[in-house]
Structure 1
Amino acid sequence: MAQGRESGGRHLLLFPFLAQGHLIPFLNLAKRIESLRPGQLSVTIVSTPRNVAGLRRAVPPGSSIRFAELPFAPSDHGLPPNAESGDVIPFMSWGSFYTAIDSLRPPFEELVSELAGREGRENVCIVADVFLGWTAECALALGVQHRVFLTSGAYGSAVIFSLWVRPPAFPPHADLNDEQPLPDFPDVRVRYVELRNVVIPEDVAVDPIMAFLRRTLHLNLRHSGGILINTSEEIEAEGLRLIGKLSALPTFAVGPIIGCPTRPNAVDAQDEGHDSCIEFLDSKPAASVLYVSFGSQNTISASEMMELARGIEASGRPFIWAVRAPAEYEEEGEFRAEWLPVGFEERATAAARGVVVRRWAPQMRILAHASTGAFLSHCGWNSTLESLWHGVPVVCWPLVSDQMFDSRVLRELGVGVEMAAGRVHGGLRSVGGWEHVRDVLETVLGDGAKAGDMRRRAAELKELARAAVGADGEAKGSSVLAMERLLDGAFR
């Protein structure tokens, strides 16, 4: 079941949720800990066999990071046998996926019990994903320490946690842009479109997914000893205040934690078209190219994809677009040319105007390139941090959950403009078609004052993000100091 569990004194067990947007930050957290405390701590990442295999390929030779595999049988829960990551789970099957993940509890308890018996309970600390609340209950029963790691931002987490438990009441037939204050945070107002893409079912009292989310939050807040957050004080001072108020737990802003390629399973792969992305950027002027990606497990509808393509083409801006099957066809997986306007790819290629890649693009390399001028993003927190790290303004199209409020963070920081919001409700259809897309892209990529202000502010935040983690090599930033406080207090 487990591999590489030699005795090593103090031991951190890192247990991410089974999705690339969670696995990657946990891997980068492990690398950060290894670099800060070389030889002083043993770090083991716990996951299922397919995920461990991918993560191993992203660990450099000589690393001390270890891995433990937990047996997992998705087909026992009505899922495909290879469904070990949320990236391959259709949107409507997430309830079954949550249930399947609960089956990891017995082998995880066995792993922790064995480790605590060998190393001593006082020398073991579990750092688990917020969606694995039962690990906090396990830690209490086994007498070891527990901390929660939020791979999302502080502001987005605080708001969606509040919405899970105490959503505000909107009147019947509310307009998508109507606002109500949060009962937990009266100074924070949420739009109806934001609520309906976080608390999706109308009758939350009987929805199994909402029941799962509320229970996992309750277990974490009741039994954990602190919260790590992949953010920094410089980026999210207000969000950190809110999450501290809601949780009443010690909080540690240890980010931005980035640095690993976007998809561990592709670290060694030379996927067709990825080199062409960089070659295309090399051929374009500075800050001119639009990069489009909705992340590893998000997509838009077929009609919205068609309008987005028309708007991009009408803008005349060069682009790189990582496409996935539209929402209605998620289970099919493979992308079909018919989901884009007739001749769209051929015209873009012939005019050297754009590159369309399937599913995955080398995102960090694209954002790091001087020719990238804006990122049309779903505002997942990993993508948000990567855009801030590289100083790239964002065209925001949040789809679900905390993305709705990550978009707000970017806009309030002065580096984001909202194109549309919502997957289940709202979306591009609620604000306009291709003309709206064209106009928003001109606002961000054009020569106007707004575009200039966004570029200047993005450059400033790039420096702040890097200083927080000591990337300049001159001083310990706020996030380094927070990590040291965390590690010093993780063991009795």
Structure 2
Amino acid sequence: METMNNSKQHAALLCSPGMGHLIPILELAKQLVAHQNFTVTIFVVSSQTSHAESQLLNSTPTNPQLWHVVQLPPPDISGLVDPDDAVVTILAMMMREVRHAFRSALLGMEVCPTMLIVDLFGTESLPVAEELGISKFVYVPSNAWFLSLMVYCPVLDVEVKGDFVHQKEPIQIPGCRSILPHLDLVDTLSVRAHKEYLDFVEIISSGVSKGDAILVNIWEDLEPKTLAALRDEKLLGRYTKVPVYPIGPLIRPTESSGSRGKVFDWLDKQPNESVIYLSLGSGGTLPYEQMTEMAWGLELSKQRFVWVIRKPTQTADGAFFTGGSGNGGDEDSPSKYLPKGFLERTKDVGLVIPLWAPQVDILAHPSVGGFLSHCGWNSTLESISNGVPMIAWPLYAEQRMNSTLLTEEFGVAVRSKIPPWKKVVEREEIEEMVRKIMGEKEGFAMRDRVRKLKTRGAKALEKGGSSYNALSQFAKHGELRCMKFADGRK
């Protein structure tokens, strides 16, 4: 086994499948290498179904002397889950079953890791770090309000009677914004009898606060009240029991060189802040009726647009897309499921892009002035970091909480009067929201607020900024503790 010198540490990062986990893990690795004198090995459990995930992994440059990516084959869980199980259940089972393969891969490393960093679904591998005598950390690539819910969830699981979704009063979290069951509640926690509820509570109870510290992808003054509660032993600090380090906003960088294709050729010809970008992330899709209303709302708004689109579901609400990238055949063509004549009528004002687009580069383009987003935290930070206000269109997971933060706390987004998972949002309301963020007085005010957040987030990452300092403090936890590592390999 090779030993490390006193000036360099080696971190092993474990990432569960999905772009929402992969992007922040990759960006954290880059920060550790660039600014904290680390070398890193990223262990990725690939889903092997997501086009965006595969493209990101294949395009990620590696430097064997500084960092590299190891793809762990996904375990066969076909006999352990049902076809209609929720994504949370599938991910939890996948990460549970990959533990032995991960432990073997970790022991096979030539260099002793000084720390293990896992994402939320990788927490069941924290005992491996204990066994090998290395530091261990949990990275929650979301906001502090969501972290507060996770930290306090085991208490709520005992104290709240009945299903969370049926609670009449707001759900209270000490020192934090309360959660409205009908509007903010993470869908995984809605019904106790559902398997996903049990899996989520088990993950939280067994892992979030079991590391030496918790990392969160925000910066200090974005959610100061919630961070204070997480650190206060009279409030949530009694449950976290470990330091919480806000190290964000960590997002994908933009590509700055070379020709970038049709969408950018088209954007280059549009006026500044005149285009609204629509995307529901790498895994979101709409039901057919809602997609029809979305198309008509866009057309009625007469606003320039770039719309990343995939085939609609047959369900009544938004769904998580798990069927891969599509085969690019005729059945995947937007003309098959958009309103008749829509593409022809809007050809001079908009672009429809099937399946995937380079989101960060589009949001960074000067002609983009608005973003209809599913409110995944990666997309949220990408929008804020580019000074782009949003239409919040949450679908699943903590996106409902993110939507409330964006609209009620930060004031940089609008949302429909009734959540899109409860009823179809009609074209007239979509038209109104598009016009509001793109051209009306309220939209200009939101644009001013999001630009201020952009500036504050950028300063936090600079040397001497709050996130830069937090990452430095976190790095000090990674002292060389490899004594058990050699024994574990025998």
TM class by smaller structure = 0.7 to 0.9
Equivalent pair of 1:156/1:404 in contact (CA under 8 Å)? no
2:297 to 296, 308, 311: 311
Equivalent pair of 1:252/1:482 in contact (CA under 8 Å)? yes
Which residue identity does 1:403 align to in structure 2?
Q
> Whole-Å Cα distance in 2 between the matches of residues 300 and 21 of structure 1?
19
> Whole-Å Cα distance in 2 between the matches of residues 200 and 336 of structure 1?
34
2:284 to 282, 288, 298: 298
User: Following TM superposition, where does structure 1 have runs of at least 4 consecutive aligned residues deviating by more than 6 angstroms?
Assistant: 170-175, 267-270
Deviations 1:412-462 (A, max 9, x none): 212111136756x425x2xx411011111111112x321121111122111
* 2:105 aligned residue: 111
1:404 to 400, 415, 430: 400
* 2:173 aligned residue: 184
Deviations 1:182-240 (A, max 9, x none): 243376332333356523653x1x43222221121122245211101111012222332
- Range that drifts further, 45-54 or 232-241: 45-54
- SS of the residue corresponding to residue 145 of structure 2 reads helix
Deviations 1:95-147 (A, max 9, x none): 334323321100212233455xx756xx5210000111212222223322110
Which residue identity does 1:300 align to in structure 2?
L
Deviations 1:344-382 (A, max 9, x none): 112111xx1100001111111111111111100011000
Please state if 1:456 is matched with 2:458.
no
* 2:477 aligned residue: 489
Tell me the TM-score normalised to structure 2 length.
0.82
> Whole-Å Cα distance in 2 between the matches of residues 163 and 322 of structure 1?
35
Which residue identity does 1:348 align to in structure 2?
T
CA gap 1:183/1:173 in 2 versus in 1, 3 angstroms? closer
* 1:25 aligned residue: 24
Equivalent pair of 1:145/1:491 in contact (CA under 8 Å)? yes
> Whole-Å Cα distance in 1 between the matches of residues 379 and 57 of structure 2?
19
> Whole-Å Cα distance in 2 between the matches of residues 393 and 65 of structure 1?
35
> 1:154: how far off?
1.5
Equivalent pair of 2:43/2:69 in contact (CA under 8 Å)? yes
- SS of the residue corresponding to residue 252 of structure 2 reads coil
Please state if 1:283 is matched with 2:269.
yes
Equivalent pair of 2:148/2:173 in contact (CA under 8 Å)? no
CA gap 1:222/1:374 in 2 versus in 1, 3 angstroms? closer
- What is the identity percentage for the equivalent residue pairs of Structure 1 and Structure 2? 26
* 2:242 aligned residue: 249
1:371 to 367, 370, 380: 367
- SS of the residue corresponding to residue 287 of structure 1 reads coil
Equivalent pair of 1:109/1:138 in contact (CA under 8 Å)? yes
Runs of at least 5 residues in structure 2 that lack an aligned partner in the other structure: 316-320, 327-331, 481-490
CA gap 1:338/1:161 in 2 versus in 1, 3 angstroms? farther
Higher relative contact order (CA 8 A, sep 6+): 2
Deviations 1:283-340 (A, max 9, x none): 2111111100010112222111111111111001000000122233856644542321
> Whole-Å Cα distance in 2 between the matches of residues 26 and 42 of structure 1?
14
Which residue identity does 1:443 align to in structure 2?
K
- SS of the residue corresponding to residue 292 of structure 1 reads strand
* 2:486 aligned residue: none
> Whole-Å Cα distance in 1 between the matches of residues 195 and 162 of structure 2?
24
Choose between structure 1 and 2: higher helix proportion. 1
> Whole-Å Cα distance in 2 between the matches of residues 209 and 79 of structure 1?
11
Which residue identity does 1:457 align to in structure 2?
R
* 1:85 aligned residue: none
> Whole-Å Cα distance in 1 between the matches of residues 410 and 95 of structure 2?
36
* 1:324 aligned residue: 310
* 2:466 aligned residue: 478
> Whole-Å Cα distance in 1 between the matches of residues 155 and 279 of structure 2?
31
Equivalent pair of 1:293/1:321 in contact (CA under 8 Å)? yes
Equivalent pair of 1:155/1:242 in contact (CA under 8 Å)? no
CA gap 1:100/1:302 in 2 versus in 1, 3 angstroms? same
Please state if 1:340 is matched with 2:343.
no
Deviations 1:400-420 (A, max 9, x none): 221111122222212111136
> Whole-Å Cα distance in 1 between the matches of residues 301 and 262 of structure 2?
22
Equivalent pair of 2:185/2:401 in contact (CA under 8 Å)? no
- Range that drifts further, 222-231 or 161-170: 161-170
> Whole-Å Cα distance in 2 between the matches of residues 55 and 348 of structure 1?
34
> Whole-Å Cα distance in 1 between the matches of residues 262 and 474 of structure 2?
42
> Whole-Å Cα distance in 1 between the matches of residues 266 and 161 of structure 2?
48
Deviations 1:242-300 (A, max 9, x none): 444252320111111113469xxxx9999xxx722212221211111110001011222
* 2:118 aligned residue: 128
CA gap 1:242/1:56 in 2 versus in 1, 3 angstroms? farther
Please state if 1:444 is matched with 2:437.
yes
CA gap 1:79/1:103 in 2 versus in 1, 3 angstroms? same
Please state if 1:239 is matched with 2:246.
no
Equivalent pair of 1:165/1:214 in contact (CA under 8 Å)? no
Aligned residues: 452
> Whole-Å Cα distance in 2 between the matches of residues 164 and 22 of structure 1?
23
CA gap 1:461/1:212 in 2 versus in 1, 3 angstroms? same
* 2:428 aligned residue: 435
Equivalent pair of 1:25/1:257 in contact (CA under 8 Å)? yes
> 1:13: how far off?
0.3
Deviations 1:22-75 (A, max 9, x none): 11111111111111134xx32100124667895353126677212334333446
> Whole-Å Cα distance in 1 between the matches of residues 322 and 13 of structure 2?
31
Runs of at least 5 residues in structure 1 that lack an aligned partner in the other structure: 81-88
> Whole-Å Cα distance in 2 between the matches of residues 490 and 248 of structure 1?
18
- SS of the residue corresponding to residue 182 of structure 1 reads coil
CA gap 1:93/1:67 in 2 versus in 1, 3 angstroms? closer
Equivalent pair of 1:311/1:436 in contact (CA under 8 Å)? yes
CA gap 1:56/1:323 in 2 versus in 1, 3 angstroms? closer
CA gap 1:367/1:132 in 2 versus in 1, 3 angstroms? same
> Whole-Å Cα distance in 2 between the matches of residues 30 and 15 of structure 1?
11
Equivalent pair of 2:219/2:246 in contact (CA under 8 Å)? yes
Equivalent pair of 1:231/1:255 in contact (CA under 8 Å)? yes
